[in-house]
Structure 1
Amino acid sequence: MLVSLFLALLVSSVSATEKDGALPRLNDTKAVEAFIDSAEVVIIGFLESEESRGYKEFLAASKQIDSVPAAICTVEEVWADYSISSDTIALFRKADNHQENLVITETKKLETDGLVNFITINEVQYITEYNQVTAVGLFNSEVKSHLLLFAIRGTKEFTELKEKLRALAPEFTGKLLFVLINGAGKSNFKSLKYFGLTSKDLPRVGIYDGNSDMKWLLPEGEISTERVRDFCQSFLRGELKDVKQAGEQPKTEL
């Protein structure tokens, strides 16, 4: 039913041309809203015309990153609904209800590779795997608290837990970002150590609060949806403040 409704909106409000690589054209606010709601992350070129600076580069970048749906909106009356006043490429993501704008007039050097980098850095999903690229988008987000899943890539648990937490993440939109950390990656060993963990301890779930620089681990046991939900809610209620932080070393008597 939802799929049919979405298609109906697009048929009535979206068109495409061969010249722009068959990217959908969004002709009114309803079409833009439907497009934004169609995926975890989307990117829209709010560009005046096909002759606008950045138009060709945007089309080329959208082809390179086909995992992020892209569209064009040339109807300037619609732009105001998204606080856009001039040619802009905007990325919308659900994980933190964020709109990241790349204003064309403020960009000195505009190339396809640069746009690909802009999309990749800001592509924060409901559950985002941590690496050097995604770290930028995660730490630039206004949401500074992260629910962390430490697991070993390639294991059955890795895939199952990733999907389980992705399904839970929308409940905490705008409050917590869900982050997956591959415990088998050498570049992530520091993150494990920070939480007092080794790869042999995984899978585990933790919370890092960037505002207070505090961290906690979900007690050992089954990583169920209910336990993780309760863990997140306890953090949001402030009930973890007095709980021993993860990775703390016991003090030695002299």
Structure 2
Amino acid sequence: MTTRSLLLLALLSLCSVWADDEALVNDEGKGGEAEGKSEEREKKFERPLPPKDESRTVRLLNNVTSAKDFINGAQVTVIGFIKDLESIDAEAFNEVVRTVRNLPFAVTYNVAVWEKYNITKNTISLFKKFDEPRADYQFEDGGLASNLTPILQFLRHNEMHLVTEYNHMDASQIFGSRIPYHLLLLVSKKSEKYQPLLKKFKAVAPEFKGKVIFILVDTDLKGNNRVISYFNVKEVDLPVICLFYVLTESVDVIKATEVTPESIRKFCNDFMKSNEKSTEPPPKPPSEEL
């Protein structure tokens, strides 16, 4: 990767939060609706974390109340609806938990909980308090264990906001998603154009989920001046929309003053089509390269 790509990665990224580690499952909501599964059956989930990681837990949900409490407890939560905790899919789910360190996880085989959330087959559900409230990843018996890449991509893509505001908290998500197309709206949040532009920008984002990351860059923040400079944008040109392709370092910029959802859609599709011949994988997050 060239110096120019590394520069943008450094500007928009922090260390990745995806790492290998152990996970702990606590038994939640025993009683009323619990089905009396044996301790031996659930034992493989009980793997203590180091003291500093006590908040990293995977909860075993045994009733609807504990499931509701878990979902309401964070902005983004993940529940594995897995029929058999002795299955290879349960082992695979635990591997996902070890890998995805930034999300809270729970697991349940409880019939009442499955019925409450209209689950009919093995499913990993991601719940959010913003944008789309829920996304489901269904799999057949043995399907999760056969390949973890699809579920990891599913979680990375669906945990994000439709429009991710660039800051030091969310920067790791941008490149941790491994999505190579980044569409940036550079605009002052104090501008009267901000809300109308954001509405148009956000309206198109669902169509490109998993393909293009939509990023808001507040040009009022001094720390974002480096991003503006990277795209050779002058203050007089703002607001603008910039599209960047990580693999080839291709960049295109359009004025945002007269854009519509249709023109943003066309801008993305045309740019992606012009770069579709590049088949190299996206780069790793900077923490793994620098």
Band the TM-score falls in, shorter-chain normalisation? 0.5 to 0.7
Provide the C-alpha distance between the structure 2 equivalents of 1:137 and 1:48, rounded to a whole number of angstroms: 32
Deviation at 1:197, TM superposition (A): 1.8
1:84/1:172 Cα in 2 relative to 1: closer, same or farther (>3 Å)?
same
SS of residue paired to 2:185: strand
Provide the C-alpha distance between the structure 1 equivalents of 2:220 and 2:86, rounded to a whole number of angstroms: 46
Provide the C-alpha distance between the structure 1 equivalents of 2:78 and 2:93, rounded to a whole number of angstroms: 20
Q: Corresponding residue for 2:48?
A: 53
SS of residue paired to 2:264: helix
Q: Corresponding residue for 1:238?
A: 274
Q: Corresponding residue for 1:13?
A: none
Deviation at 1:169, TM superposition (A): 1.1
1:138 aligns with 2:174: yes
Q: Corresponding residue for 2:19?
A: none
Deviation at 1:201, TM superposition (A): 2.8
1:20 aligns with 2:15: no
Deviation at 1:138, TM superposition (A): 1.1
Structure 2 unaligned regions, length at least 5: 1-26, 36-40, 60-69, 104-125, 128-134, 136-148, 278-290
Bigger mean CA offset, 66-75 vs 166-175: 66-75
> Structure 2-normalised TM-score?
0.49
1:189 aligns with 2:188: no
Provide the C-alpha distance between the structure 1 equivalents of 2:86 and 2:187, rounded to a whole number of angstroms: 43
1:189/1:216 Cα in 2 relative to 1: closer, same or farther (>3 Å)?
same
1:152 aligns with 2:188: yes
1:77/1:206 Cα in 2 relative to 1: closer, same or farther (>3 Å)?
same
Q: 1:204 aligns with which of 235, 240, 243?
A: 240
Q: What's the CA shift string for 1:8-44, capped at 9, x where partnerless?
A: xxxxxxxxxxx7389xx9x9xxxxxxxxxxxxxxxxx
Deviation at 1:56, TM superposition (A): 5.9
Does the 8 Å CA contact 2:228/2:234 hold for their aligned counterparts? yes
> Structure 1-normalised TM-score?
0.55
1:69/1:140 Cα in 2 relative to 1: closer, same or farther (>3 Å)?
closer
Consecutive aligned runs of 4 or more in structure 1 exceeding 6 Å deviation: 62-65
Deviation at 1:63, TM superposition (A): 8.8
RMSD: 4.4
Deviation at 1:52, TM superposition (A): 4.9
Highest RCO, 1 vs 2 (Cα 8 Å, sep ≥ 6): 2
Deviation at 1:160, TM superposition (A): 3.0
Deviation at 1:66, TM superposition (A): 2.2
Matches within 5 A, 1:21-40: none
Q: Corresponding residue for 1:223?
A: 259
Identity fraction in percent: 24
